[in-house]
C-alpha cells in the first residue's frame, strides 16, 4: 500500500511565527529515505500554510510524485496547471474550517468540476476527487472522468476515537456523542463495510482508490485491510509523532503498519 505524507503541518509551524523555519522543502529527502511514496500538500485559497513558493519549490525538487490538493476555484486551477504536480486532488474548502471537514459535494458543481478536470488533464496532471464514501459520489466521479478518488475517512476516524477513547490512545477526535459501546462498534463495522464495498465498486468502474483524513497509528490497520484501497494520505498523526521521534522514524512507523 502506498503512503502519501502530507507535509502541510510543517508549514503550519512556520506560519505560526511567520518566519522561514521550518522549511517544508527540507522534509523531502527525509520522506523519501523513510519510505514515503508520495508527498501531499494543500495549496489553500487562504494560503494559511503551504504558499505558492513552497508548492513551486517542492514540485521542482521532489524525487517523489507530488499530490497537490486544491479547491475547484478557477484561479487556483490555473496556478496548479502552471505548477504541474503529478496529481491534483480536488477538495472542498471553507475559509472558516480548521481542516477539510468532508468530501466534495459534486451535485450542482458538475460544470465547474468538469472544466477544472479537463484543464488539469490537458496539462497531463492526473486528477483525484476527495469524496465522502457514498455510491452517488463514486458515480459522479466516474462520470467526470477522473483517474482517482480519495475517500474521506474522517467519519471512520471519529467513530473509532469515540469507541476507543477510554483506552486513551486515540488522539484524532474529542468524542462528541455519548453512545453505548455496542452501538459505536456497529457504527464502526458499518462504516468499514461501506468503505470496503464502495472501494470495490469504484475499482470495478476503473477508478483508482485512495483514502485519508484522521488516520493514525491506532486506526489505520482496518483501512489497510481493504485491498482495493491503493494509497493513504496521512498528515496530522505523522507530523505530530515526528515532534518526539523525528520525521524519519514517524514515517517509518507508519510505513510498517501499511504492510499487507
Ligand atoms: N487527504 C486529503 C484530501 C486531505 O485534505 C487531508 C488533510 O485534511 C489528508 C488526506 C490528511 O489528513 P490528516 O492530516 O488528518 O492525516
Residue 42 annotated among the catalytic residues of the structure? yes
Q: Are 9 and 238 in contact (CB under 8 A)?
A: no
Q: What angle do CA 15, 237, 157 make, to 5 degrees?
A: 120
pLDDT band at 95 (very low <50, low <70, confident <90, very high): low
Which among 9, 42, 49, 152 is annotated as catalytic? 42
C-alpha span between 103 and 151 (Å, rounded) = 7
Which among 9, 49, 152, 213 is annotated as catalytic? 213
Q: Are 67 and 85 in contact (CB under 8 A)?
A: yes
What distance in angstroms lies between residue 213's CA and the mean position of ligand 1's atoms?
A: 4
pTM: 0.94
Say what the pLDDT of residue 176 is: 58
Cell readout for 21 is 523555519
The sign one gets for the Cα dihedral 15, 21, 24, 27 is: negative
Domains in the chain and their CATH numbers? 2-153+207-257 (3.20.20.70)
pLDDT tens column, 111-152: 999 999 999 999 999 999 999 999 999 999 999 999 999 999
Residue 189 annotated among the catalytic residues of the structure? no
What distance in angstroms lies between residue 143's CA and the mean position of ligand 1's atoms?
A: 24
- Please determine, for residue 103, whether its predicted confidence score (pLDDT) is greater than 90: no
pLDDT band at 6 (very low <50, low <70, confident <90, very high): very high
pLDDT tens column, 197-256: 999 999 999 999 999 999 999 999 999 999 999 999 999 999 999 999 999 999 999 999
3-state secondary structure 145-176: CCCEEEEECHHHHHHHHHHHHHHCCCCCCCCC
Ligand 1 atom with least separation from CA of 238: 16
Say what the pLDDT of residue 179 is: 79
Residue 69 annotated among the catalytic residues of the structure? yes
C-alpha span between 64 and 7 (Å, rounded) = 13
Say what the pLDDT of residue 164 is: 85
pLDDT tens column, 142-187: 999 999 999 999 999 989 988 887 554 555 555 556 778 899 999 9
Residues with CB under 6 A from ligand 1: 6, 42, 69, 89, 91, 99-100, 130, 150, 212-215, 233-237
Q: Are 223 and 153 in contact (CB under 8 A)?
A: yes
The sign one gets for the Cα dihedral 40, 108, 132, 117 is: negative
Bridge-based pairing of strands 66-70 and 38-42 is parallel
Ligand 1 atom with least separation from CA of 212: 10
What distance in angstroms lies between residue 209's CA and the mean position of ligand 1's atoms?
A: 15
Ligand 1 atom with least separation from CA of 234: 16
Amino acid at each position: 500500500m502506498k503512503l502519501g505524507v502530507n507535509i502541510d503541518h510543517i508549514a503550519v509551524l512556520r506560519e505560526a511565527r511567520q518566519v522561514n523555519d521550518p522549511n517544508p522543502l527540507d522534509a523531502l529527502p527525509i520522506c523519501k529515505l523513510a519510505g514515503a511514496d508520495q508527498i501531499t500538500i494543500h495549496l489553500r485559497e487562504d494560503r494559511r500554510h503551504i504558499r505558492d513558493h513552497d508548492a513551486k519549490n517542492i514540485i521542482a525538487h521532489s524525487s517523489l510524485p507530488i499530490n497537490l490538493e486544491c479547491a475547484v476555484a478557477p484561479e487556483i486551477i490555473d496556478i496548479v496547471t502552471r505548477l504541474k504536480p503529478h496529481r491534483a486532488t480536488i477538495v472542498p474548502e471553507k475559509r472558516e474550517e480548521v481542516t477539510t471537514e468532508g468530501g466534495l459535494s459534486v451535485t450542482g458543481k458538475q460544470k465547474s468540476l468538469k472544466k477544472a478536470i479537463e484543464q488539469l488533464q490537458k496539462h497531463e496532471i492526473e486528477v483525484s476527487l476527495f469524496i465522502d464514501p457514498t455510491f452517488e459520489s463514486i458515480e459522479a466521479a466516474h462520470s467526470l472522468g477522473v483517474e482517482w478518488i480519495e475517500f474521506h475517512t474522517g467519519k471512520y476516524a471519529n467513530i473509532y476515537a469515540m469507541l476507543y477513547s477510554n483506552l486513551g490512545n486515540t488522539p484524532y477526535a474529542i468524542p462528541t456523542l455519548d453512545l453505548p459501546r455496542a452501538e459505536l462498534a456497529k457504527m464502526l463495522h458499518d462504516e468499514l463495510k461501506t468503505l470496503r464495498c464502495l472501494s470495490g465498486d469504484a475499482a470495478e468502474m476503473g477508478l483508482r482508490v485512495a483514502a485519508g483524513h484522521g488516520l493514525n497509528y491506532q486506526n489505520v490497520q482496518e483501512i489497510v485491510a481493504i485491498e482495493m484501497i491503493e494509497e493513504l494520505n496521512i498528515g496530522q498523526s505523522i507530523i505530530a509523532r515526528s515532534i518526539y521521534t523525528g520525521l524519519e522514524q514517524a514515517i517509518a512507523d507508519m510505513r510498517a503498519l501499511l504492510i499487507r
